[in-house]
Amino acid sequence: MSSRFCKLSILAAASLTLASFSAHADEVQIAVAANFTAPMKAIAALFEQDTGHKVTASFGATGGLYTQIKNGAPFDVFLAADDSTPIKLEKEGAIIPGSRFTYAIGTLVLWSATEGYLDGQGEVLKQGKFAHLAIANPKTAPYGTAAIQTLTRLGLLENVQDKFVQGENITQTYQFISTGNAKLGFVALSQVYKDGKITSGSAWIVPGELYESIRQDAVLLSRGGSNPAAKALVDYLKGQKAAAVIQSYGYGL
Supply the CATH number for residue 52's domain: 3.40.190.10
Q: Does residue 13 sit within a domain?
A: no
Q: How many domains does the chain have?
A: 2
Question: What pLDDT, on a 0 to 100 scale, did the predictor assign at position 122?
Answer: 86
Q: pLDDT digits over 200-231, tens only?
A: 999 999 999 999 999 999 999 999 999 999 99
Domain residues for 33?
Answer: 25-104+214-248
Whether pTM > 0.85 for this model: the answer is: no
Question: What pLDDT, on a 0 to 100 scale, did the predictor assign at position 24?
Answer: 62
SS3 111: strand
State the sign of the Cα–Cα–Cα–Cα dihedral 82, 58, 201, 199: positive
Q: Is 179 in the same domain as 234?
A: no
Q: Does residue 20 sit within a domain?
A: no
Q: pLDDT digits over 67-123, tens only?
A: 999 999 999 999 999 999 999 999 999 999 999 999 999 999 999 999 999 987 889
Q: Is 194 in the same domain as 229?
A: no
